[in-house]
Homo-oligomer: A and B are copies of this chain.
Amino acid sequence: MNTFGQALRVTTFGESHGEGIGAVIDGLPAGLEIEEEFLALEMQRRAGGKNLYSTQRKEADEVKILSGVFEGKTTGTSLGFFIQNTANKSRDYDSIKNLFRPGHADWTYFHKYGIRDYRGGGRSSARETSARVAAGAIAKMLLKPFGIVFQSGILSIGEIKGETIDFQNAQKSEIFALDKQVESAQKEAILQAREAHDSLGGVALIKASGVPCGLGEPLYYKLDSAIGALMLGLNGVKAVEIGNGVKSARLRGSQNNDMMNAEGFVSNHCGGILGGISNGAEILLKVHFKPTPSIFLPQSTQDMQGNVVQCEIKGRHDPCIAVRGSVVCESSLALILADMLLLNATSKLENLQKIYS
């Protein structure tokens, strides 16, 4: 089940400390120009090793396209790519080889498969998200000519929550902070957690603008359905809100409904989705990340033989995965909307007539 999408299908493979991470993108329309420079920029947005707020593992994250592109354009055939791992330090994991790290997938992978690649969590590592970001970058190339663009940033870090939403600030910020007023406090909170050998949770806001009305395939591949699947499936995400989200459950219908005037909808409490289909307004999501489970404090756990032991984790980890996670959410939303754009192409008979006439 390493494939996401229906019309645009992305299949990924690879482990944190294996050869690398790769993917196959199937269903890309032919004739799309692949901008390698943009692809590299997107990879850099997700990459760690740039400051103290992220992991110190510094990966080249170079995406090598292996197929599906000819003379700079997609050919309609499957596009394979590979991102070599270059900064493996598997010896960091020798100490945890025989035990189950709290908050990690070690326990569940071992019990499910009867085997476990202990090097950096193997397949369960967030290193896999590099493939999502690369695929998401290609999805963005597909969407841009149709006016669909993306923005994201950090709303809150631990208890420190911003009020203002300033995507411009997020772009320049080392922690993608949306609110300049609280940015330093948020940074400080991360560093404090880091110094305490601990980690911190956070919340990302994701936005897509220019989305045409009609994307989403009721009843079981609605737009919000796909968002729920990709976001809650992302490492460390424990809650997802669309539009008013949690707040809407506290409101009355007369407060939460989006009414219309002559220009269209006068509010966007629904986050751009009605009945699982985009309504033309901005798509707005909040994604809640738990604190990184890898902390350097001693923790009580079991080893493979069932003995209670103290776990002392080494390695290079993000003190707050929400920061880099926000980029992956943005890429994920791009993948979803690209898929939905393709699926919606055959929603009406008149669309077919436009193509086959």
Contact = CB atoms under 8 A, between A and B. Distances in A.
A348 to B, nearest CB: 5
Contact of A241 (B113, B227, B239, B355): B239
Interface in A194-237: 196, 198-203, 212-214, 216-222, 224-233, 235, 237
Contacts of A87: none
A330 B257 CA distance: 26
A203 B239 CA distance: 14
A8 to B, nearest CB: 9
Interface of A is mostly: mixed
A278 B108 contact: yes
A237 to B, nearest CB: 8
Contact of A159 (B32, B199, B219, B250): B250
B216 A19 contact: no
A165 interface: no
B349 A355 contact: no
Interface in A293-351: 293-295, 297, 299-302, 306, 308, 322, 341-351
Contacts of A256: 103, 201, 290-291, 293
A18 B76 contact: no
B343 A1 contact: yes
A224 to B, nearest CB: 4
Interface string A12-49: 11110011101010110111100000000000000000
A224 B228 CA distance: 9
Given A3-B3, A348-B114, A240 B252 contact: no
Given A31-B113, A239-B245, A278-B108, A225 B229 contact: yes
Contact of A77 (B15, B32, B67, B237): B15
A199 B256 CA distance: 10
A278 B79 CA distance: 23
Contacts of A275: 104-105, 108-109, 121, 124, 235
B213 A291 contact: no
8 contacts: A1-B6, A15-B77, A31-B114, A73-B115, A107-B213, A111-B277, A251-B290, A345-B355
Given A3-B26, A224-B233, A253-B294, 15 more contacts: A1-B220, A70-B115, A102-B260, A103-B253, A103-B257, A105-B274, A108-B274, A113-B348, A121-B275, A158-B252, A193-B252, A232-B240, A240-B240, A260-B302, A345-B355
